[in-house]
Structure 1
């Protein structure tokens, strides 16, 4: 049994909230939205937002690099901004192709970026220079996931496929005809045995990454598009969020649904829930929505 308590709602963004990211402190996190604002929040001080950066276009993706205390954010149709969190100063930029950018992931000295033009851009972190452009589809790359165990990365596309690439050579290894619509989110299980995918078709699929990505399980998880997946810090659970306005909690071993967090039962979001962040702070989940708000949920497993 899971007891859910809504801790707070953070307001301040003037457009849909698209990105949530960890910081170097367990009680703080970053958000980014369609308004171009990047804000740092403190879970110990509700609704006190601290502006970190402001760009001219929407931000769908950002990633924190703890080694340098830098936040990488990607401004749609412009490019990468590297922000020094200590000084809140932009220290580096890199112009990208004029398109939307949906995801960014780091592995060793490389940043992997998912573009709306169907290109995965691979960038050297130190020199902020291009290493490789992988054009794998005429349709958008919507999400990325890194598997260091098998030395590969997976990319979800709006052509309904998941494509798996070698992490070193960047060669295409496998194409999975995964869903009936765009693949919006990918996440490897913490032990890297499974790849979880969520799609605009509202299906959650579990792929066996140790067995040629054979389909382990398919679940009709939501009534509309699944936007994001995130695992709990203890790896026992994961959460999904959807255009159907709900957040759902699942058992990571059995893949059984354990809890639904929605507007009717928990004063949840009024529109699409776009992003989740399962924090290490008091087992709290943060959710960002089209309704321009960020909600904070405390989960107690009884």
Structure 2
């Protein structure tokens, strides 16, 4: 099966001076943003990938970005400094939201709830009003970091992966805790709902990819030992037929979303992929291209043909 998937690296984007931690979709499907340990936030165009456009520079590493398409705003999670709201037209800071002086690991905006969720190194999840960016509350259900966020628009639930090895599922409106999922044996770095809202996938430091049935109160369907080391991120293809994982083991893997069969391994030996940990993925509807970023300071753009 694996031979049917054709992968070609079409661009290597350089310019960051430190590990690139995160990627997020912009307004058009061929544009995206990146952020890194150098504090630089850069906008890229996949149709002209040679040069990035510096959007902002902050004084700390940036692990998390969040884009609000309706207002063309970009939220920057500035470690130990809170959240900066950038107007992308003017590149001006509209607002700075002070938060506890801890790392910000993930941010998620949902128009359905009118909220921005921020997961933090204190174990807290901050809830901001998406209109005013006022802090509404901080929900703290763990002493260890809240690492990853996913929203299910069908069940209106927020899944949060924590460094205490648990996934907690909240009612996204009330932030009432509904479920605690306890199968992982180490930090949960990534959670992702399937596009139809029926499954939750999770991964992290134990290298296990776990599959949870949302409609059966998150009963675990099973797991795969998906990588040799930490799974850093899981993302679905735009059509929902596939998903990709990336890892500290330097590889990217492509999977069938129905059968969970491994379809392709993208790595340094076979594809001139990254030389160090692959931190985040962004799967664009633009020519079905997959974008990856790494501790090696580069961003790769992959053409994927199934």
Q: Distance in 1 between matches of 2:230 and 2:297?
A: 18
SS at match of 1:201: coil
Select the residue among 19, 22, 31 that pairs with 1:19. 22
After superposition, residues 166-181 of structure 1 pair within 5 angstroms as 166-181=171-186
Q: Distance in 2 between matches of 1:255 and 1:212?
A: 21
How large is the Cα RMSD of the aligned pairs?
Answer: 0.8
Deviations 1:165-204 (A, max 9, x none): 1112111111110301000000000001000001100000
Partner in structure 2 of residue 69 of structure 1: 72
TM-superposed CA distance for 1:87, in Å, is 1.5
Partner in structure 1 of residue 285 of structure 2: 280
Q: Distance in 2 between matches of 1:73 and 1:53?
A: 9
* 2:104 matches 1:101: yes
* 2:5 matches 1:40: no
After superposition, residues 72-151 of structure 1 pair within 5 angstroms as 72-107=75-110, 108-151=113-156
Select the residue among 159, 166, 189 that pairs with 1:161. 166
Q: Distance in 1 between matches of 2:239 and 2:168?
A: 28
Select the residue among 224, 236, 239 that pairs with 1:234. 239
Q: Distance in 1 between matches of 2:174 and 2:41?
A: 34
8 Å contact from structure 2 (residues 67, 109) kept in 1: no
After superposition, residues 183-198 of structure 1 pair within 5 angstroms as 183-198=188-203
Q: Distance in 1 between matches of 2:134 and 2:89?
A: 24
TM-superposed CA distance for 1:148, in Å, is 2.1
* 2:213 matches 1:208: yes
Compute the TM-score of the two structures, normalised by the length of structure 1: 0.98
Provide the aligned length of Structure 1 versus Structure 2. 301
Deviations 1:141-178 (A, max 9, x none): 00011112112111100000001111121111111103
Give ranges in structure 1 of 5+ residues lacking alignment: none
Q: Distance in 2 between matches of 1:60 and 1:46?
A: 22
Q: Distance in 2 between matches of 1:131 and 1:66?
A: 22
SS at match of 2:144: coil
TM-superposed CA distance for 1:16, in Å, is 0.4
8 Å contact from structure 2 (residues 97, 135) kept in 1: no
Partner in structure 2 of residue 51 of structure 1: 54
Compute the TM-score of the two structures, normalised by the length of structure 2: 0.97
Q: Distance in 2 between matches of 1:95 and 1:224?
A: 34
Q: Distance in 2 between matches of 1:102 and 1:186?
A: 13
Q: Distance in 2 between matches of 1:279 and 1:147?
A: 20
* 2:229 matches 1:224: yes
SS at match of 1:31: strand
Deviations 1:51-88 (A, max 9, x none): 00000001000111000010111100001111111122
Q: Distance in 2 between matches of 1:178 and 1:140?
A: 17
Q: Distance in 1 between matches of 2:219 and 2:152?
A: 16
Q: Distance in 1 between matches of 2:255 and 2:206?
A: 19
SS at match of 1:244: coil
SS at match of 2:18: coil
- Deviation above 2 Å: which 4+ runs of structure 1? none
